[in-house]
Amino acid sequence: MKKIFLFSVSITLLSGFCFAQKKKNIKQIPKSVIEKKVENPKKEDPNEPLVWHTDLQKANQISKKTKRPIFGFFTGSDWCGWCTKLQKEVFAKAEFINWAKEKVVLLELDFPRYKQLPVNLQQQNSGLQQALSVNGFPTIWLFNLSEDTANNKTNINPLGSLGYPSNAIRGKEEVAFLETANGILVTNKN
């Protein structure tokens, strides 16, 4: 009985783990983590729903073209209750949708338990999870990428991270979330 209780408490703590961190040093990841296939990004229509990319290279291509950072959403889409709650109470709100279309390039980094992702996507997501030291879900990292051609690596410039807005007014979670996200963007503005 004690084992079941401790396991339940551990899972509860892990699934509810949310944090905000300060700017980290630039990290490097091998180019093999980023898929080689390059596609031409489409212009986003303001009347269209949000586009969540899964391909880091495609998101980076759009990020460079639009000069917007990547919004990396680390999630467990088919098991993480806090991830679902964040999507429903923040990402589905008009304020977030308008903000995201203007300020960031959305990238979903999924770690499902009940469905199988393609191997290249698993490697990409795990590489970013390791590079950004992601320990819990949901975690969002705002970051930019730059090429280090001399070392054949990609540099990650993390701007800051955030999770579920734990101290938000109920029903206004998107307000607290966007205040934190905007704070990260303002702090890192060139």
Read off the pLDDT of each residue in 157-163 and give the average, rounded to a whole number: 96
Mean pLDDT of the chain, nearest integer: 82
Read off the pLDDT of each residue in 67-90 and give the average, rounded to a whole number: 97
Residue 152: the pLDDT is: 86
Confidence of residue 20 (pLDDT cuts 50, 70, 90): very low
| Long-range Cβ contact pairs of 99-102 (< 8 A, separation 24 or more) | 99/178, 99/181, 99/182, 100/50, 100/71, 101/44, 101/46, 101/50
Reduce the DSSP state of residue 127 to 3 states and report it. helix
Residue 25: the pLDDT is: 52
Read off the pLDDT of each residue in 83-89 and give the average, rounded to a whole number: 97
Pair of tokens at residue 9? 């408490």
- Over residues 27-71, the pLDDT tens digits come to 555 555 554 443 444 444 556 789 999 999 999 999 999 999 999
Percent of all residues in the chain with a pLDDT value above 70, rounded to a whole number: 75
For tokens 């490097």, the residue is 28
Read off the pLDDT of each residue in 3-21 and give the average, rounded to a whole number: 37
The Cα 186–Cα 92 span in angstroms is 23
Residue 108: the pLDDT is: 98
Percent of all residues in the chain with a pLDDT value above 90, rounded to a whole number: 65
CATH superfamily of 2-187: Glutaredoxin (3.40.30.10)
The Cα 1–Cα 122 span in angstroms is 35
